[in-house]
Amino acid sequence: MHISEFQELIERTYFERDSARGLGGTYMWFSEEVGELATALRRNDKDAMEEEIADVFAWLCTLASLAGVRMEDAVRKYADGCPGCRRIPCDCSDKE
Amino acid sequence: MHISEFQELIERTYFERDSARGLGGTYMWFSEEVGELATALRRNDKDAMEEEIADVFAWLCTLASLAGVRMEDAVRKYADGCPGCRRIPCDCSDKE
């Protein structure tokens, strides 16, 4: 699936409700999913990791839509390599 | 760009370093970017929002790669509508 298709799917599914809730409340939902992802990773629960990664991505797309950002445009900063050193693989010396 | 292409791009750019760092340390980088996204949203800084949304997505892809999760597989849970009510738009009654 294209990144833009996924954002559009999430918009069709959730935008009206997320928009009515507003950015702050929607960020809290996103944040909750980030916490659930941490739990899944900590437990090394593969099914839960897959579920929570999808949920975090879905809420990130919603936040992007509320902010007027197209995910497809946003990711272009990585298209030519690391935005810091412009290399693939990244060669930034300060990246711990 | 396809979701799978973006994950592969991020793997080519960062996987070796992220893998050497490990899951815990990589989660902290992801978490730092989530904080930067909150700052950009709070300031309503459009350019920063676009940057930080891309960064959160990139780190999410790295976490997925470290966890052995393909983003393209993970997002299928949304393909037929809301995973809760199976509808587009979502009609879950408990979603504040």
ipTM of the complex: 0.96
Spatial separation of the C-alpha atoms in residues B90 and B71, rounded to whole Å: 22
DSSP structural state of residue B63: H
pLDDT of residue A96: 62
pTM of the prediction? 0.96
Q: Give B64's contacts in chain A (Cβ within 8 Å).
A: 49, 53
Question: Which two tokens mark A64?
Answer: 């992007």
Spatial separation of the C-alpha atoms in residues B32 and B39, rounded to whole Å: 11
Chain A nearest CA to B24, separation (Å):
8
* CA–centroid distance for B78 within its chain: 15
Spatial separation of the C-alpha atoms in residues B58 and A78, rounded to whole Å: 8
Spatial separation of the C-alpha atoms in residues A53 and B74, rounded to whole Å: 7
Residues of chain A with pLDDT under 70: 94-96
The answer to whether the CB atoms of B73 and A50 lie below 8 A apart is yes
Q: Give A63's contacts in chain B (Cβ within 8 Å).
A: 37, 41, 53
Q: Find all residues with CB under 8 Å of A19, minimum gap 6, and list them.
A: A66
pLDDT tens-place string over residues B9-56: 999 999 999 999 999 999 999 999 999 999 999 999 999 999 999 999
Percent of chain A at pLDDT > 70 equals 97
